[in-house]
Structure 1
């Protein structure tokens, strides 16, 4: 998505479906010529949670967000957001959602306060309420001191916070964040994460697309992984890690000098299917990849039988980056080839 977008939002408690899901998607399909951006996507997002949508470039993440925010029409399938059908009830839907894209889209000639006040008035807020809401959000996003400065003088992080504040003017029920921290430094990214958590604490439902695995771990209650327009996995983070399989047994002997003898002993035992061990001298631990409970039991038993005094033994599930690699065949940050991606194609199509 080429920039952040703020859609009209006026608070309403209308939820005709009476469902606990803020977003429901069934069989969503979207084509760009011969390219199938979405190929029968199903998705459920529970109210008051963050759903992280992961996928490589061109997987269809932005296409999904654009359809759910009424900026694109699907070719097939159904989707409801806050109880409203994205095709049949777009005007009502736009009143209860917010959208922030990959890059801040604020009027750089206007001061930050005027940006927010203008959006409030466009949303039909009374002048007094629009002024109060602008003041409130500038304070919340730590922009009060810069309120009267043109947005062109803001840093990238300040513009991103202003963009998020703009998306909250109308108190949306559902907020779409399409890779909201792209290009931000770690400190500013953490600030954005804090604000997203605060929004969820206020009851907002968030659908977040991201390629930052740490961002997904920090914010998302559940994940959906898409690739080539299809959902290839979904569930809670720990569930996805468990599905991928494989754990790392971290063994710390009391005597660091036992590290290498311990590694040699385990490698020489020939436990069926056990991968080579790794010595981590920085932490004084031995890392043993195990794929089954049988291997885990065999390793612990061998360590005990050889009389090596152990300070601690812990098991670790795969990292989210390893899960992504296993599911998609490459890491989240892996560069794509030079062929046009779905996101590029949709910019032409819109």
Structure 2
């Protein structure tokens, strides 16, 4: 009898272990614009909350629902950055932690990029100091900032308006003097040109005119090749999708160095009931052998971009020409293995 109980216990433990090694999407019931940084054995995760910045910490990103979390910053009232806090990203730059985010004062026309700094090794400790607005010349509407180093120089890419009014969203790049200061003019490297970037829902009575959108740019490097993956179309449409820019020249600040691929690389799957997949980030598995995409999507058509977008992740592959192959968004019932560990 004792041997049988031990066997049942071991079988139960093995089943539990197997469950912990797999997961299904979504990772949380909701959470737009997901972003993750892997550091010292932990994933540090965040997403848009609108009125605050919260950081999650976990060894298993697939188990976000049980992750430790900490409120790291609430904006002071009555400022130009007190409301509509969107798309935060946590980065480690020269040994310090930075969080970049877009915010305004309740008027969308005033959306700009801002940054906080924490000098502690552990972002759950220390203090988060407000460093101010991050803006290039000319200072225009800006959201979705993503920072990266290229040839040991720091750059930011983001989504912005050409002028002071909302006509379309473009992708811009600028060099940075330091993590909180731009260096010179912004450079336009992408704007909506293809039909698949300008699709809208014709029966949308709320946002029909504004469907020309390039936003959510993310830097991606693989085997010496440089890419920017971006989101296209209005987030309120089911056509929200991911496009690809490839760096073809050596000068990253030269618009001619960037080539936009003529087709989207990640789109909705009606078969899998995944709609409006986009605003992604990328991360490597703990052992460094796998590349993964973290993105948000809806489970039903017409869910729009208020409250129902949920974070999801899946492993990506690479095409023979070196470009990323993101595959098809997997259904919620698909069982996936967690990122490969050491």
TM-score normalised by length of structure 2: 0.27
TM-score normalised by length of structure 1: 0.27
Task: Return the index of the structure with the highest Cα Rg.
Answer: 1
Greater helix proportion: 1
